[in-house]
Structure 1
Amino acid sequence: MRKSQRKFLIVADESPECRTALYFAARRAEATGARVCILAVIEPGDFNHWLGVAEASQREAMEAAETLLESLAEDAEAVTGERPDLLLREGKRREVLADVLEEDPMISILILGASPAKEGPGPLVSALARGKGLFAGRAVPVTIVPAELSKDEIDALV
């Protein structure tokens, strides 16, 4: 067991910037004796009046989230040598994130990847930039990792 049980939280998605943020978190965790924690959120669907469609859609979303978590966990473990904590929750992303931060006092940093896309850096990073009260309860420091950073550049930072 490591000296510290501090955790660095990553919010999982399919974007390249998530992988960059994960690599940054894993390298920082390795260097500081912390753990990586990966959160995947399944957002509610709009199929309430079509029960069969809703169930199939929910099942597919759950399978996709589990596959994504496993892939990200393998990437993190390749860097840290330890399996990260994996969380799979249902709900609205910002609300679930606030709940997870409130529930786990060992989460010490939220690490987000910023998209280089014209549409903006991503919904969570945008919410932080606009000061939209991302955290309902316990606030934690946030590290925003530019998607353009290479692994070599991240290694030089850590």
Structure 2
Amino acid sequence: MENVLDIRFCRALQVMIRLAVAAEGESAVLSSTRFAEELGTNPSLVRKLLVPLAAGGLVVSTKGRGGGAKLARPAEEITLAEIYRCAVGDKPLWASPDCEHVCETTANATRYFADLTAEAEQAVLASLGDRTLADSVREFRSIDAEPGGKASAE
């Protein structure tokens, strides 16, 4: 099966932005049921999204009545690169082709695409490493303030 870009980072970032907003006011702890309602999905999927974020030290989860998830550290101290790494793990940005070596192109394709993917991934991580979760919350809010803006972090 071919690797394709997926939505894990996007969903993980949505969860983290929502937790950052929650940490500013209301309750810092949000339940998987509440997340599911807001994301239009089911609580089980939300809990699966939270597992790598908790394993990466970005989120703290508590079980039981009144339980839920909250940020493990302030939003200013969490980079988007950390969220990305937790969400996608070691899955490469693109899949390298596995070709039968019948000519110069196919003989070098796997190595070439692996190197190209590593370079692109480093560029992505460098870009995401310069931005914090707090920056993302501010960016979401500025979208809402733009004429015709419909996005909201809350």
TM bucket by the smaller chain?
0.3 to 0.5
Would you tell me which structure has more strand in proportion to its own residues? 1
TM-score (norm 1): 0.31
Greater relative contact order (Cα < 8 A, sep 6+) = 1
Structure with the greater alpha carbon radius of gyration: 2
